[in-house]
Structure 1
Amino acid sequence: MNNGLEDVIAAETRLSDVDGEAGRLIIRGVSLDHLVTHATYEDTAALLLDGFFDRPISVSELKVQLGRARAEVFANVQAMDAMLEKLPPVDAMRALTARLADGEDFETALRLLAAPAVFLPAVLRLRKGETPIAPNPSLSQSADILAMLNGALPSKEQVAALDAYLVTISDHGLNASTFASRVIASTKAGLTSSVLAAVSALKGPLHGGAPGPVLDMLDDVGSEAHAETWLGEALDRGERLMGFGHRIYRVRDPRADALKDALKPLVATGQVDRDRIRLAEAVEQAALATLKERKPDRPLDVNVEFYTALLLEALGFPREAFTGVFAIGRTVGWIAHAREQALEGRLIRPRSVYVGPLPQAAA
């Protein structure tokens, strides 16, 4: 028995392969490096969903249908009330998603892909006392998200940056939320139920809740000159350095470099605070050197959370919404895994080992 199911193989999948030793991620036979350079969100969604529904999926068709689905699910924003507005954004988003009908068909999948993209910007605007903005079905998923969030059409660099993020985190093996999605799918409960289970797993701070604290760390460090001292003191207190280390990767997380590259056009065009980026790069270098010195036997490198925080901050998302943005990108992976499990797998029913007391023998 392995606690946490460490190294236990629980499924065969055609969707993604995470090679932690080599620092490589393959999604449906395509390397992350190629995808993040050449693919939009819609390209990646079509790639992941292909073959799991009763129709071929073209990118052009998906873009049109996804735009219509965003317009359809926006009607649920009217269900927002004061109680939902007070919830953390990911919880409010999950509550609105729970209003969607369950099913296994492609239309259900489209609504679930559209839902977080529409609900999260609406929730964030309402929390600021602003009116939610209706989707524009003619825009791409990334462009529409940013338009609904910020109230203006985004630049091409901003759209490309969000596309890069959504592509980068679209799928990543049998992580906690994806496994939750497959467990629910194995019961034939439906795609909405699978996605709700996955969101519930994602919101846990050990899974999808860590990018925000990266910014807290940068705020506390304050300046490049203070980076080494602050990091050393944090390790002396036994604290974890946010954005470093990963359960699977023994080397640098390939998604970190993909997102670092996605930030460069925003920096080059002055759409991001260059001082913030310079501080982050100084913290990165100081942290890697400090970790190598303090923990030479542990392979601790930059993970996806470090540059996720900087990219999402640059695009105008508040840090309390980062888990919700993660859900926007990962939902397509959850749906693909749920369909793969429902079509090809069995009811997931592992065994447990009882370690409690035994009944006392009669005297």
Structure 2
Amino acid sequence: MGSYSDNTPAIHDLAQKMISNSMIDTSLYSKYNVKRGLRDLDGKGVLTGLTDISTIIQNKEVDGKLVPCDGELYYRGYNVNDIVGGILEDDRFGFEEVVYLLLFGEMPNVAQLKDFKELLVKYRTLPQNFVRDVILKAPSEDMMNSIARSVLTLFCYDDNPNDTSVDNVLRQCIQLISVFPMLSVYGYHAYNHYLRDKSLYIHRAEPTMSTAEVILSLLRPDRKYTPLEAKVLDMALILHMEHGGGNNSTFTTHVVTSSGTDTYSAIAAALASLKGPKHGGANVKVFYMFEDIKKHIKDWKDDEEIEDYLEKILEKQTFDRMGLIYGMGHAVYTISDPRQIILKGAVQKLAKAEGYDEDFELYERVERLAPQVIGKKRKIYKGVASNVDFYSGLLYSMLDIPCELYTPMFATARIAGWSAHRLEEIVNGGKIIRPAYMSISTTKNYTPLDKR
């Protein structure tokens, strides 16, 4: 019996036919002023909606003109730098507090935060036998697909899955936020055991743990972690939680929600978007790119040798031959990504504690040299700086989080933002989102089958 994924020569021939009949003359996009990717040539996004959940600042007005500035990110009006700074000053975990902020639009007081954490713990459980019947029975080498399948299957365990009232959707969202760490880590353990023939262990989440602590304790065989490891992971989750309504996966959430579909379908669609290497999968690409750099560069402190290799990456001569230096540049930010600046400081601290100083220094050198190399080789419309994905792969590797879970870590954080945007779309009851596509096909006369 053949594999489900068997390709036959006929498929190749049909694919070539499809390609030849599907190509669109690229000059037509300019002729009809099509905003490919819903963006202008200068990278500015086409305005398609309004949101009160987060604010991204990349320009400031000077003498009546917009000029690039250091990036700023606000959650519900609060500067992320201030949020993280306050959490660090108190030496506590903050993910759950920021989830509350994104969902409800205000900072919780002590009593509200306590009640909300208890609600998250209450929902931090999967249906009976779900791990055995759903996660373990169909292991996948791709954790994002595993999570999406689990999310869609949870629909079947919900007594009221199609109710899109605010009360019900809020309940569903909080439940999903609570179980995402389990869906991610258990999915990895299933893959590690059944597809890689490693030992299988399924730990239970302790009710006193923060989300970051749950992830590390579920992942590691001995369940042990240091306070620094958990706090740095907590910070990374906060920085990945939300980034405006226009990023691909959040916009997907708005689009799918606008059709009136259920929460599980909307979140599964967002997961499908985040999986892509141009979006959430970028942190995996950064990690593998640096593994490739380490193999081919003899002296990690030689700027000239690093520059030469980066040029080869851009010229599609090495690594994945896509011509991209992953982790550099952002669709929105020009001068700097505020999330990257915060995360870099935390990664440096962890690198020193864990003995990864040389790795961190290599990352710093590439971060400094890459914009120069890109500027020489490419025509760019705005500045190029490292983004939040640049250091996140190094962070996860230092935490012994396997690369299969890098993008799921992003999803475990971003589910909070997706939930807030889904609720915002429902509350404001907008029209179904349906942008226009211009047809360029020509009219043809029908020919009967026997005369073709």
So what's the TM-score if we normalise by structure 1? 0.90
Counterpart position of 1:231: 310
Distance 1:245 1:211 in 2: 13
1:11 maps onto 2:49 in alignment: yes
1:167 maps onto 2:238 in alignment: yes
Deviation of 1:235 (Å): 2.3
1:198 maps onto 2:267 in alignment: no
1:179 maps onto 2:251 in alignment: yes
Q: 1:86 to 1:192 in 2, by over 3 A?
A: closer
Distance 1:43 1:251 in 2: 29
Counterpart position of 2:334: 250
Q: Which residue, out of 143, 147, 170, partners 2:213?
A: 143
Counterpart position of 2:20: none
Deviation of 1:324 (Å): 0.9
1:348 maps onto 2:433 in alignment: yes
Q: Which residue, out of 405, 424, 437, partners 1:321?
A: 405
Overall identity of the aligned pairs, in %: 26
Deviation of 1:352 (Å): 2.8
Distance 2:421 2:72 in 1: 20
Counterpart position of 2:117: 63
Counterpart residue type for residue 252 of structure 1: S
User: Per the alignment, in what secondary structure is the counterpart of residue 311 of structure 2?
Assistant: helix
Worse overlay, 67-76 or 174-183: 67-76
Any residues of structure 2 matched to 1:1-363 within 5 Å, and which? Answer: 1-6=34-39, 7-21=45-59, 22=69, 23-39=71-87, 40-50=94-104, 58-72=112-126, 75-80=129-134, 84-100=138-154, 101=158, 102=161, 103-104=163-164, 105=168, 106-129=170-193, 130-151=200-221, 152-173=223-244, 174-222=246-294, 223-224=299-300, 225=302, 226-237=305-316, 239-268=323-352, 270-271=353-354, 273-295=356-378, 297-298=380-381, 299-346=383-430, 347-358=432-443
User: Per the alignment, in what secondary structure is the counterpart of residue 255 of structure 1?
Assistant: helix
Worse overlay, 303-312 or 41-50: 303-312
Deviations 1:39-71 (A, max 9, x none): 41111100000069xxxx932222111122122
Distance 1:205 1:266 in 2: 26
Deviation of 1:295 (Å): 4.1
Q: 1:64 to 1:211 in 2, by over 3 A?
A: same
Deviation of 1:296 (Å): 7.1
Distance 1:293 1:3 in 2: 25
Distance 2:444 2:379 in 1: 49
Contact kept, 8 Å, 1:16 with 1:26, in 2: the verdict is: yes
Deviation of 1:354 (Å): 2.3
Worse overlay, 330-339 or 11-20: 11-20
User: Per the alignment, in what secondary structure is the counterpart of residue 384 of structure 2?
Assistant: coil
Q: 1:128 to 1:272 in 2, by over 3 A?
A: farther
Counterpart residue type for residue 329 of structure 1: A
Stretches of structure 2 that go unaligned for 5 or more consecutive residues are 1-33, 40-44, 60-68, 88-93, 194-199, 317-321, 447-452
Deviation of 1:286 (Å): 2.4
State the structure with more CA Rg: 2
Deviations 1:300-336 (A, max 9, x none): 1111111111111112211122111110000010010
Worse overlay, 70-79 or 9-18: 70-79
With a CA cutoff of 8 Å and minimum separation of 6, indicate the structure with the bigger relative contact order: 1
Counterpart residue type for residue 154 of structure 1: Y
Counterpart residue type for residue 314 of structure 2: L
Deviation of 1:139 (Å): 0.7
Distance 2:192 2:240 in 1: 28
Distance 1:99 1:51 in 2: 30
Distance 2:398 2:270 in 1: 27
User: Per the alignment, in what secondary structure is the counterpart of residue 179 of structure 1?
Assistant: helix
CA RMSD of aligned residues (A): 2.3
Deviation of 1:339 (Å): 0.4
Distance 1:302 1:149 in 2: 29
Distance 1:97 1:275 in 2: 40
Distance 1:272 1:112 in 2: 36
Q: 1:107 to 1:297 in 2, by over 3 A?
A: closer
So what's the TM-score if we normalise by structure 2? 0.74
Distance 2:254 2:392 in 1: 26
User: Per the alignment, in what secondary structure is the counterpart of residue 243 of structure 2?
Assistant: coil
Deviations 1:150-209 (A, max 9, x none): 131322111111111111111111211101111122222232222111111111222111
Distance 1:252 1:296 in 2: 19
Counterpart residue type for residue 48 of structure 2: A
Report how many residues are paired.
Answer: 356
User: Per the alignment, in what secondary structure is the counterpart of residue 124 of structure 2?
Assistant: helix
Deviations 1:235-271 (A, max 9, x none): 2337111110111112221111111112133234x23
Worse overlay, 81-90 or 43-52: 81-90
Counterpart residue type for residue 271 of structure 1: E
